[in-house]
Structures are given as structure tokens and as C-alpha cells.
Chains A and B, each alone.
Chain A
Amino acid sequence: MTYDVEQIRRDFPILERKVRGRPLVYLDNAATTQKPRQVIDALVHYYEHYNANIHRGLHTLAEEATAAYEGARVKAGRFINAAAPEQEIIFTRNTTESLNLVANAWGRKFLEPGDEILFTAMEHHSNLVPWQMIALETGAKVRYIEIDDDGRLIGDDVRAKINERTKVVAITQMSNVLGTINPVREIAELAHRAGAIVVVDGAQSVPHMPVDVRELGCDFLAFSSHKMLGPTGVGVLYGTREALDAMDPFLGGGEMIKRVTYERSTYADLPNKFEAGTPNIADVIAFGAAIDYLEALGMEAVREHEIAITQYAIDRLSAMDGVKVYGPREAADKGGAVTFNYRDIHPHDLSQVLDQYAVAIRAGHHCAQPLMRRLDAVATARASFYLYNRHDEVDALIEGIRASDRIFGNVVRAGA
């Protein structure tokens, strides 16, 4: 199948939308992506035809709903090449909850005073704050791997900071700010040799490139449905059977038990042990439809498309006077997020101007305040691409940036 952007765009009803009379140019895909009709239809179809609670009823609807829900689990597992999709995929609310689950359930059981948790200078708050919290509770220490000025991890610092005290290495596979793709496999090897577990934040990588957990050799991988064409409210925690079996449950309640007496309970097997209560059935099923959509396109093709458009964006932005682009310049080394600043114009002001031209980007600290400080930026603007974006949308972005000159062109702040 050839990759046909125009045909893909027809599957996304929202892309027909106009904002202030102009066609929407949606370049905020790292925050959340738009949904194809197939996903929206799956959601409606469930509610109209087989809405029922799962794992409980013995009636037709309950059986259909359970089969569809468990089917989505297998799809999610195969998508990242899990060895045992039926057991190794836990559904949560989002990446953040997945990472909190590991930090709490694994951390509370295995971390001791003096142990070290290592993350990187480019982590999203959701792969940073949970570790700080569990460190406070257990007496473990947090450390982080430094980055260079191009936004890449410093190899020497990786080797220096992984040691026999390291118990957890928590690392993003693709930075949501810099786009940097980290060498997870190499780091996982070092970490495992030191006896640490490896927790990967895949919120940006899984939607945008082929990811194979067995090749990466990670113990855990977290990602969100809403960043890969699926509904909000569904996250995935992948964990190897060994790692998941070793942990105690995170939340207690229905579904996650075998036998309950007033005094004690025994817990269900994987994956139910970690899915207490009624899950987000409808959205998980629709997430399955999102995975089908991505599989049909092929993640290699998606990645190739994004490399092309990202490189085009980096080149056009870099050619503009007054633009500072952060992170690697080669699209082949990074994901589809391009972070930049333009002149002295605050990214809020820039994004406000762009919105007037129906171009949606993100402005702010992107949930990575420590990284912003490292980059010496109060805030940045970020354009992020996905499988339905076209080159002419990059042109619209550039035009919008130029339009800000009309208002801020001669603004130089006194003493700023």
C-alpha cells in the first residue's frame, strides 16, 4: 500500500474543521492526536450494540464486551511485540498512571534507603515526580543523566551514573520537547548488568515509530492511547511477566482478587491483579481500533512520513532569521516534535498569533520544567506532527510566525 496523506486525512472528520474561517492546521500532536472515524465508530458501536460489564456476566452482551476488551489487550501487546500479550499488558488511565503504578508497586516493595533511581534531564514530569515521591517514602535517592547542548544524553554520564546502587533506570524513549530518541537498548543493557530495572516512557515513541519491547530489553513500558489516534482515558503499562509477578497490587477492589475473607485476600493472576474495578471498557475497545488503523498503515511508513515532514519543518524554521531550534537537527535522529523560539517573542504571544491563523501549536514548558531550565528558556513553542500532516501545513506555520512580525516586529524589551 502506498502512503496517501490525502486519503488518510479523509478518515479524520475534525480535519475538515475551520477555525476563524480558515482550515485547521493541527500541529499539537505531541499533546494529543486527532481520531479517525474508525475509532469514533468503534466507540459508538460498543455503546449501541454490546455495552456490558466485562468478566462478570454470563450473558451475550457481557461475553461480546469481554472478548472485545481482551482483544484490544492482545492488539496492544502485539503492537509492541510483547512475549505474552494476555498477561503483560495492563490497562490504566494514561502514561502517568502507568508510571505511578510502577513507582508505587515496584518501588515500595524493592527500594531501600541508599538505593538510586536514575532518570534523565529530559523527562516529562510524569516520569520524574512519581520517582521523587517514592524516593521520599523509601529513602532512595534520585539522580539524573545530563544532556549536551544538542539535547542528547551524554554517554559518559550514563556510564558514570549507572552503578551497583542503581535500582531503577527510568528513561523516555523519545523526548516530548526535543524529540531526541534515546538509545534505550544500550542503556537497558548497562542497567541490567548493574542489577537495575528499566522503565521506559513510551508516550511519544510508541505512537510514532516501531517499538519492540523484546528488542529494547526493558522491564516496563508506558504509553497513552490518546497520543496514538485512540480515545482519552486509556493508558498501557507493559511489564515482563517476571517483573509484574514480583510486584504486589497497586489498587485493591473488585476484579483483582481470587478469594476474599474478612481478614485477607488472595490476588488474581496477571493482568487482572493490576486492574481493580470496572475498567474503561468502551475506550479500550476503541483503542483497539486505533491500533488496527496504525497497523494497516504500518509504523515504518508512519515514521518515514514523519521524518520527511519534520526535516522540512526544521529546515524551514532554521532558515528563518531569529528562530532558535532546540534539540537534534537531523529528523532521522528524532521524533516529530520541533521546539523553537522566535526572536524575543514569548511563545504564548506567538501561539496566540498562530491561533488567529488556525495553526495550533503548544507554548509553555511542556511539563518539563527542569529541562526548560537546562535549556535556559522560560518557555518554548512546539510544533509536533503526525501521520496526517502535510508539508503545506508547515508552510502555514512559517507564514503565521512571519505574521507575528507585524505586531511584535520592532519589540525589543528594555532590560529583558
Chain B
Amino acid sequence: MSSELELDELYRELILDHYKNPRHRERIEHADVTAEGFNPVCGDEIEMELDFDGERLQAIGVRGRGCSISQASASMMSELVEGKTIGEIRHLSEEFKQMMTEPESAVPEDLGDLEALQGVAKFAVRVKCATLAWHTLGEGIEQHQKGDGAVRVEEM
């Protein structure tokens, strides 16, 4: 495959669109949980607020600084998980991580725009960029279940 084609497969239009216009950027005041994710290897940063209604993630706010993959992934994730239950989110998270680590496996149908990140799996060093938002969300959910308000994740 030519360099151009390979790059196009990694940087799909949809990814660049989320990178340019990240969704759910608004900060949620008085959220149940705030979570920060940081990847010391690359310097990618993500912060998010989570508001729950019982088991349901009612609202999510996400912002960050970092590469296109990390930031687009966070934006896509926010669209997908808002309104879902913790159980549903856990399931989606597993599916996404599997898509990232097993490039050959079939792409699940319920991942929404995140499907566009499929090409990342071929670039091992970028997988951490793509999963940072999910790890941060996972920690946030755990914090919520423990009844704590803030959490900070450091990827290694």
C-alpha cells in the first residue's frame, strides 16, 4: 500500500472531523465525578465530568490536549456513552479495547463513529492514545461506584 493510502486509512475524515470539532466539550458544573487522564509518554491529556442518574450516565463533558487520535477518540466516545447504563458502557469499552488489540477481528456494529479508529490497531504505539479516554472513563465509573468524586489516571 502506498504511504498516502495507509495514512488515509489511519486518519479517516471522521477522525479529523471529531478532532476539529470535539463533541460534548461543555464543562458540567457540579458533576458527580471528575476524572483526568494523562499519558506521560506522549503528554496526551483528557479531563471529563460525569453525571449519573443511578446506573445511567446522564451527561458527560470532555476536553483535552493531545494528538488527533487521543482527542478524536474521546469525542467519539462521549457521543456513544451518553445516556447509556454502566453495564452497557462496560460492554462497549471491552469491544473497543478488543478492536484496538486484535486488528484482525470483526468490527462490532454498535461502536458508532469509533469504528473509524479501526486503523489505529495497526499502529501499536498509537493504541494508548486511542484508549486513554476509555481508561479515564472506566476509572471515573469506578470512583462513582465507590462514592468518591475525583480521580486521576496515569497511563504507562
Residues of B within 8 A of A356 (CB): 3-4, 6-7
- Taking CB atoms and an 8 Å cut-off, the chain A residues in 386-416 that contact chain B are 403, 406-408, 411-416
Query: Provided the pairs A348-B129, A379-B42 are in contact, do residues A408 and B16 lie with their beta carbons within 8 angstroms?
Result: yes
- For the complex, is A9 an interface residue (Cβ under 8 Å from B)? no
Q: Assess the A353–B7 pair: CB atoms within 8 A.
A: yes
Nearest A-chain residue to B3, judged by Cβ? A356
Nearest A-chain residue to B123, judged by Cβ? A352
Range class of the B interface residue count: 20 to 34
- For the complex, is B52 an interface residue (Cβ under 8 Å from A)? no
CB distance from B38 to the nearest CB of A (A): 11
- For the complex, is B45 an interface residue (Cβ under 8 Å from A)? yes
Q: Assess the B20–A357 pair: CB atoms within 8 A.
A: no
- For the complex, is A378 an interface residue (Cβ under 8 Å from B)? yes
Q: Assess the B67–A349 pair: CB atoms within 8 A.
A: yes
Nearest B-chain residue to A413, judged by Cβ? B20
Q: Mark B33-45, 1 if CB is under 8 A from A, else 0.
A: 0000000111101
- For the complex, is A365 an interface residue (Cβ under 8 Å from B)? yes
* Residue from the list A347, A364, A408 in contact with B41, Cβ < 8 A: A364
CB distance from B12 to the nearest CB of A (A): 10
Q: Assess the B7–A346 pair: CB atoms within 8 A.
A: no
Query: Provided the pairs A348-B126, A349-B68, A379-B43 are in contact, do residues A414 and B22 lie with their beta carbons within 8 angstroms?
Result: yes
Nearest B-chain residue to A348, judged by Cβ? B67
Residues of B within 8 A of A347 (CB): 67
Residues of A within 8 A of B19 (CB): 411, 413
- Taking CB atoms and an 8 Å cut-off, the chain B residues in 4-43 that contact chain A are 4, 6-8, 10-11, 16, 19-22, 25, 40-43
Residues of A within 8 A of B8 (CB): 407
CA of A49 to CA of B118 in the docked complex: distance in angstroms? 50
Residue of A348, A364, A406, A411 most packed against chain B (CB within 10 A): A348
Residues of A within 8 A of B63 (CB): 415
Q: Assess the B7–A407 pair: CB atoms within 8 A.
A: yes
CB distance from B99 to the nearest CB of A (A): 19
- Taking CB atoms and an 8 Å cut-off, the chain A residues in 369-389 that contact chain B are 369, 372, 378-379
Q: Assess the B10–A348 pair: CB atoms within 8 A.
A: no
Q: Assess the B20–A348 pair: CB atoms within 8 A.
A: no
Q: Assess the A346–B67 pair: CB atoms within 8 A.
A: yes
| Chain A residues engaging chain B, CB cutoff 8 angstroms | 20, 22, 346-349, 352-353, 356-357, 363-365, 369, 372, 378-379, 403, 406-408, 411-416
27 A/B residue pairs, CB under 8 Å, sorted by A: A20-B6, A346-B67, A348-B42, A348-B67, A348-B69, A349-B69, A352-B126, A356-B3, A356-B6, A364-B42, A369-B43, A372-B43, A378-B43, A378-B45, A378-B66, A379-B42, A403-B3, A406-B4, A407-B8, A407-B16, A408-B11, A411-B20, A413-B20, A413-B22, A414-B20, A414-B22, A415-B63
Given contact pairs A364-B42, A379-B43, A414-B22, a sample of 13 additional A-B residue pairs in the complex whose CB atoms are under 8 Å apart:
A348-B42, A349-B69, A352-B7, A352-B10, A356-B3, A369-B43, A378-B65, A406-B4, A407-B7, A407-B16, A413-B20, A414-B25, A415-B25
